[in-house]
Amino acid sequence: MRPDFLMQLFILNLGVQSFVLFIYLSYYFQILLTKYFNKVENVYDYIIVGSGTAGSVIAHRLAAETNFTFIVIEAGGKSNSLFEIPVLTPMLHNSVYDWQYETVPQENACLAMNNKKCKLPQGKIVGGSSKINNMVHVRGNISHYAAWFHGKYDENYLIDHFETVERDMLHLNEINFESELVEAMSEAAEQLGYSRLNSDFKIGYSKSKLSQKNGKRWTISDSLDLSKYVLSNALVEKVVIRNGVAKGVSIQIVDKKHNVFAKKGVILSAGTFNTPKILQLSGIGPANVLKSVNIPIVKNLPVGYNLQDHVTTGFDLILINKTLSVNPMSMLDFRNVYEYFVNGKGPLTTAGCELITFLSTKGDKVPDIQFMVMPVGISSDRGSHLRLALGISDTVWENYFENVFDKHAATILPIVLHPKSRGEVYIVNTDPKSPPLIDPKYLNCNEDVKTLINGLKLVEKFLNTPAMKEMGAYINPQHFPNCESHTIFSDAYWDCYVRHLTLSSYHPVGTCSMGLTSSNSVVDTNFRVFSVANLYVVDASVLPTLPSGNINAAVAMMASVFFDENVKSVKITNTNMYCYKYQLIADLFYKICR
Could you tell me whether strands 355-359 and 535-537 are parallel, antiparallel, or unpaired per DSSP bridges? unpaired
Model's pTM, two decimal places? 0.93
What's the pLDDT score for residue 383?
87
Instruction: Tell whether the torsion through CA atoms of 124, 314, 449 and 206 is positive or negative.
Output: positive
Three-state secondary-structure class, residue 527: coil
- Longest Cα separation, the chain: 80
The pLDDT-based confidence of 254 (bands split at 50, 70, 90) is confident
d(CA 413, CA 355): 11
Q: Are 250 and 73 in contact (CB under 8 A)?
A: no
CA dihedral sign, ordered 582, 586, 587, 588:
positive
Q: What's the rounded Cα separation, in Å, for the pair 531 and 535?
A: 9
Q: Which residues are CB-neighbours of 323 under 8 A, at least 6 positions away? A: 408
Residue 457: predicted pLDDT: 97
Band of the pLDDT at 9, cuts 50, 70, 90?
low
Which candidate, 171, 84, 157, places its Cα nearest to that of 127?
Answer: 84
Residue 590 has a pLDDT of 52
Whether residue 573 is predicted with pLDDT greater than 50 in this model: the reply is: no
Give the per-residue pLDDT at 588: 56
Sheet containing 204-207: order of strands:
204-207, 355-359, 369-374, 408-416, 318-320, 473-475
Contacts of 232 (CB under 8 A, 6+ apart): 30, 34, 38, 51, 74, 76, 77, 78, 126, 226
Calculate ∠ Cα 443-355-270, nearest 5°. 55
Q: For residue 2, is pLDDT > 80?
A: no
Higher pLDDT, 125 or 330: 125
Q: Say how far apart CA 516 and CA 521 lie, in whole Å.
A: 7
User: What domains are defined for the chain?
Assistant: 42-99+122-171+231-305+507-594 (3.50.50.60)
Quickly state the pLDDT bin for 585 (edges 50, 70, 90).
Answer: low
Q: Inter-axis angle of helices 552-563 and 53-65, to 10 degrees?
A: 40
473 has pLDDT over 50: yes
Note whether 241 and 225 are within 8 A (CB): no
List the one residue out of 384, 322, 305, 332 whose CA is nearest residue 10: 384
First-to-final CA distance of the chain: 66
